[in-house]
Amino acid sequence: MMAGFFASGQVADLVLAVLAAEALLLFAWHRRTGRGLAPAALAGLVLPGVALVLALRAALVGAGWGLVAAALVAALAAHLFDLAVRLRR
């Protein structure tokens, strides 16, 4: 049962759903209270993880290496964006 859960990529779907819920809750909290992470900082926090999980999903379902590589490059780009935002402070 667990092997199928992983092989189908559903585990990655679950992680993406948790990441989306976390991002929405943090965004709503910031919007309501003015505290917490600003939207740019939140994007920098979440986007690299999303891209890495997409790479994982692609690898689990047997997608071509190009799709896995593209997702990893997207994770790097999102990480560098996050670093740039943080270093400007």
Distance CA 75, CA 46 (A): 10
**Does 1 have pLDDT greater than 90?**
no
Mean pLDDT of the chain: 95
Burial class (CB in 10 A: 0-12, 13-18, 19+), 78: buried
Provide φ and ψ at 11, rounded to 5°: -60, -40
pLDDT in tens, 17-29: 999 999 999 999 9
Please write the tens of the pLDDT for every residue from 43-63: 999 999 999 999 999 999 999
pTM of the model: 0.89
